[in-house]
Amino acid sequence: MTEVTSFEGRRPPPDGFLSGLEERFGDQLQTGQAIREQHGSSESHFVKMVPDAVVFAQDKQDVIDLVRFCAAANVPIVPFGAGTSIEGNAAAPFGGVSLDMSRMNRIIAVNAADFDCVVQPGVRREELNQHLRDQGLFFPIDPGANATIGGMASTRASGTNAVRYGTMKDAVLGLEVVTPQGEVIRTARRARKSAAGYDLTRLYVGSEGTLGIITEINLRLHAIPEAISSAVCSFATLEGAVETVVQSIYCSVPLARVEILDALQMRAVNRWSKLDYPEAPTLFFEFHGTRAHVAEQVATVEALASANGGGDFAWSDKPEERSRLWRARHEAYYAAINLRQGAVGWATDVCVPMSRLAECILETQKDLSQASVPATILGHVGDGNFHVVFSLDPDAPDELVEVEAINRRLVERALAMDGTCTGEHGIGLGKQDWLVAELGNAVEQMRLIKRAFDPQNLLNPGKIFTL
């Protein structure tokens, strides 16, 4: 994959811009080729779209000063967290400054009695959970990658725990944001709920850095449950696995995690993580609660699984076993890509109403069975959200064309089932046409907000939609 240097509409920085930046930011400014390329790449199939410079913010004042400096020069700013997004969300198609937030990584406060904390956007979720553990608290949103909290808020991330604990829209209590004019606002106080005016918090969550730059995040936390139990169960059919989940929810079992992996994905996991699970449609479960309540949940789900063609539950109650199990699940994406040497990944991301999930996966599998590119399926089955992971040869442009066509059919299938083109990855560069297909003229209301907040189109231009 090659660097794209001349993108239509690229806005080259004016003369003297970089030297002015250097005067203010010193060695927080980096302009080397390698670091710029790293900030213009991502964990996906997108070509590199490289910024003109990278600025590492240390504090809020840096962000304010950079925004004002870039506004005066009309140079775009692209906020950057850990670079784990996969729809080109942090690429720099118009150049400009990549604003790296990773050094703003302080945990500012943990309010244990209120089940919340305040963090800077560069804190990563694994660090946060290590910090919280001693206080009996945890932050439940888990997209797999060790993303930054700011990046997760910006893309409305979710992942394996969402079935029980919701997504970033539920986890964020309030934000501090620097506007495109360099003003600092706070979207909410620290109360657990409020009816005070428009919900700016939820507006910034999922806005992919196009409306403001998040400089502080107030997060909701949860008490670590007394008992946690994980299990893996394989099924004769994919429908049996999905039906087990639907029936569990009907029985009000508060599943903490429930993940589906298809047979090929299980083969990839076995190879990558050196395991020997059956290579069949499989559910990974996690149960949270008191000891007695977990035992009751497990009994209910085991009975339902058995009635739906499930095999025995392989249990992991000890922390290290559970970690091993979930590490295997989290590495499933890399496992799938590595079905071929030197491949790059492409993950699709549809989400459909639960009643259509089995049908949607089965039709997709039928489509994949004709494909020349290896492709696995895994997903957050309790939410109706699943991914196809393609393992692409970067030097075979035909494969990209083929996969684009499969993805088009997949998204059309999901939209026809009243689903969404993106359950959790966001729109970025990759889903813009599908956003319009999904929400039609509602996208015009989004454009009205963008134009009102950022008339210069300064922040992450070209993402979500073109103006």
Residues in 69-98 at the binding interface with a copy of itself, rule: CB under 8 A? none
Judged by CB under 8 A, the chain residues 21 through 80 that form the site for a copy of itself are: none
| Tokens coding 1 | 């994959």
Please, what's the largest Cα pairwise distance for the chain?
A: 71
Strand partners for 283? 233, 260
Pairing of strands 48-49, 3-4: parallel
C-alpha 126/C-alpha 149 separation (Å) is 10
Q: 65, 114, 127, 302: which one contacts a copy of itself (CB under 8 A)?
A: 114
* Amino acid making up residue 386: F
* Rounded Cα gap, residues 254 and 288, in angstroms: 8
Question: CA dist 125 to 132, 144, 147, 386, Å?
Answer: 11, 10, 6, 22
Residues of this chain, 200-239, that bind a copy of itself according to CB under 8 A? 200, 202-203, 205-207, 211, 222-223, 225-226
Nearest approach in angstroms of CB 68 to a copy of itself is 16
Residue 403 and residue 418 in contact, taking contact as beta carbons nearer than 8 Å: no
11 interacts with a copy of itself by CB under 8 A: no
Q: Does 415 bind a copy of itself (CB under 8 A)?
A: yes
Q: Compute the distance between CA of residue 394 and CA of residue 355 in angstroms, rounded to an integer.
A: 36
Q: Nearer to a copy of itself by C-beta: 51 or 150?
A: 150
CB closer to a copy of itself out of 26 and 440: 440
- The footprint of a copy of itself on residues 344-363 (CB under 8 A) is 349, 351-355
Nearer to a copy of itself, 72 or 292 (CB): 292
The answer to whether 465 contacts a copy of itself (rule: CB under 8 A) is yes
Instruction: Kindly tell me which residue out of 153, 256, 325, 435 binds a copy of itself, with binding defined by CB under 8 A.
Output: 435
Q: How many CA atoms lie within 13 A of 171 on its CB side?
A: 32
> CA-CA distance, 351 to 386, in Å (whole number)?
6
Q: How far is the CB of 286 from a copy of itself (least distance, A)?
A: 15
**Binding map of a copy of itself across residues 279-298, x = CB under 8 A, - = no contact:** ---------xxx-xx--x--
Sole residue written with tokens 């949940």: 297
Q: Which residue has the tokens 């009907």?
A: 250
* CB nearer to a copy of itself: pick between 1 and 191: 191
Report if residue 191 touches a copy of itself, rule: CB under 8 A: yes
The residue among 71 and 203 lying less far from a copy of itself, judged by its C-beta, is: 203
